[in-house]
Amino acid sequence: MRRIAAADVGGTHARFALATIHHGVVTELGEPVTVKTSEFASFQHAWQEFGRRIHEPLPTELAIAFAGPVGGEVLKLTNNPWVIRPALMEEKLGVEQFVIVNDFAAIAHAVAGLDPSAYRHVCGPEIDLPENGVISIVGPGTGLGVASLVRRSDSYEVIATEGGHIDWPPLDPLEDRILMQLRESFRRVSVERLVSGRGLLNIYEALGTIENRPYTLRDEKDLWTAALQGTDSLAAAALDRLCLIFGAAAGDYALAQGAQAVVLAGGLGLRLVDYLPRSGFRDRFIAKGRFERMMDEMPVKVIVHPQPGLFGAAEAFATAHRDL
């Protein structure tokens, strides 16, 4: 049995927790400590704050889920001035063993290690995720993360991608017009421009322009609240359209990756957990021509674990050090 620290570092928040690993499996994840990255000059200072809050010596083993590229001598967050230099981990943090993975790769590791209670059903058959084969993981939030998990009988492999940045293909005349509106702001319109937290605002403003209707909700939080509560008809229409586009994209990723199941993650996936099953998500997910029956037989779930990034970072460490 070994005790490690796990960190999930994003642009706005950094989360830390202690994790217990036994026989290569994460058996416990402690209560998380969350700090705002803007309040600390560096990861090292946030790490030290974590030690102060747990009132015990920090472990010498650390797993980090990092919202940015993880290759090279200097790791830079996409939306945060912090940097991490792996070569200096022991000197700066007192860490002897560590694993650093991309934040969405960590979600895929979490899917590999979580039990069925960590998911809610969206569509398709209500069965457990397959023990062998490919699981597509789609994570809309601030951006759109896409990965695949390849499960085998005694191991698994995580394949991180930048699938959220593929071109968005409109599927009906209204979406053709939405694309035309978005092209006035973006040289290239990717799926992430629509299937993300900001994507709802992009759709909302495009619909307002197309219908020549006033759109007064400019704050993303207020817009999401109005859309989910149905208090603004244009916001509600934008959310319905987002769910259609989300379903089509998730189905495309599953087809491209040869998946047997799909897991939806990210803050937006969790926020829509009750809304998606009654939206047009399923209709667009399965609308793949000759493959419609196959798609309709594919389970789609939302991960509802409260800290999949932390759990996934710990799982990545457990996998990398399974023989130690």
Q: Exposure of 278 by Cβ count < 10 A (0-12 exposed, 13-18 middle, 19+ buried)?
A: exposed
Between helix 220-229 and helix 233-257 the angle, nearest 10°, is 90
Contact 241, 203 (CB under 8 A): yes
Nearest of 52, 58, 21 to residue 35 by alpha carbon: 52
Separation CA 80–CA 60 (nearest Å): 25
The answer to the question of whether 142 is labelled as a binding residue is no
CA atoms within 13 A on the CB side of 96: 5
Write out the H or E segment, with its range, that includes residue 146: strand 144-151
9 labelled as ligand-binding?
Answer: yes
12 is in an annotated binding site: yes
Please check whether residue 308 is in contact with residue 263, taking contact to mean a CB–CB distance below 8 angstroms.
Answer: no
Measured over the CA atoms of residue 133, residue 107, residue 74 and residue 17, the dihedral's sign is negative
DSSP secondary structure code for residue 184 in this structure: T
In total, the chain counts a number of residues equal to 324
Per the annotation, does 10 bind a ligand? Answer: yes
Phi and psi dihedrals of 323, rounded to 5? -90, -5
DSSP annotation of 271: H
What CA–CA distance (Å, rounded) separates 58 from 268? 33
Q: Which residues are annotated as a binding site for ATP?
A: 7-12
Feature table: binding site = 7-12
